[in-house]
Amino acid sequence: MTTLTNPVWFITGCSTGFGKELAKLTIARGWPTVVTARDKARLVDLAASGDNVLALDLDVTDQAQIDAAVKAAEDRFGRIDVLVNNAGYGYQASIEEGDDTEIRAMFDANVFGLFAITRAVLPGMRTRRQGHVLNITSQAGFIGFPGSGYYAASKHAVEGFSDALAAEGAPVGIKVTCVAPGPFRTDWAGRSLKQTQVQIAEYEATAGARIKGTANISGQQPGDPVRAGETMIAVVESEKPPRHLVLGKLAYDGITGKLKERLAQVESLKDASLGADFPS
């Protein structure tokens, strides 16, 4: 948003974690900021921090609330320049032991809710030929860790969606960045993570070990959410914002390693791949 001096930010999932810390930063800069949560009572401190704040109830799985929130934001501030899709949560289980109800509920929030709020905001951005969508994904958008297969699937879905949105949006001035954090010192593991405990002995050393390790990580994560928020703002302000923003050393090392490994494997089978076409 280098052409705007007073960009309007709309951030989902602001009651805790990345959403809250990012909102604090945009509010402190004096930018109009729409902060949302399932229960806006949890946003009292943000709502009281300036006249440039609009706090709204928003369950991203509820289309009526989505439509109402976008309308309220545009009525108050005239437009939405930056949409930050941060709302969502994690679910861990071995693949075999995943609970269908839990899996579908997570996809409703992480995937279909994100799709819905994005669709609601796009018309205004398209009309103005300007906008930036930030989708908070995860290193799990690139790596399927044991115990996190369903969560990774939800983040892979957002990455694919974002590729298409970036291609469609570029001609009309809409930019897209996926933010892929590693472990950051938020309360994600304590508040935003559901777990199905591994009962099958054969998965105890893989899925079970990761699930136990994740549950005990709160307060020890190396990532600083405030620094992450500053980096996100810098990306939005840049002339050519990236399609991918990886945050934290663990995510950087893991994602770059996975991509190199994947490329090497694809290239090792080049002859087989090209040989699948009809002969020239």
Which residues are known to be catalytic? 151
Residues in the chain: 280
Among 89, 90, 84, 66, which residue's Cα sits nearest to residue 25? 84
Q: What is the CA radius of gyration of the chain?
A: 20
The token duo for 243 is 């399609």
Distance CA 177, CA 169 (A): 12
**Phi/psi of residue 246, nearest 5 degrees:** -100, 135
Q: How would DSSP label each residue in 83-102?
A: EEE----EEEB-TTT--HHH
Would you state the structure tokens that stand for residue 86, as one six-digit string?
Answer: 């941060």
Q: Give CA angle at 94 (162, 178), nearest 5°.
A: 15
What are 134's strand-pairing partners?
A: 84, 177
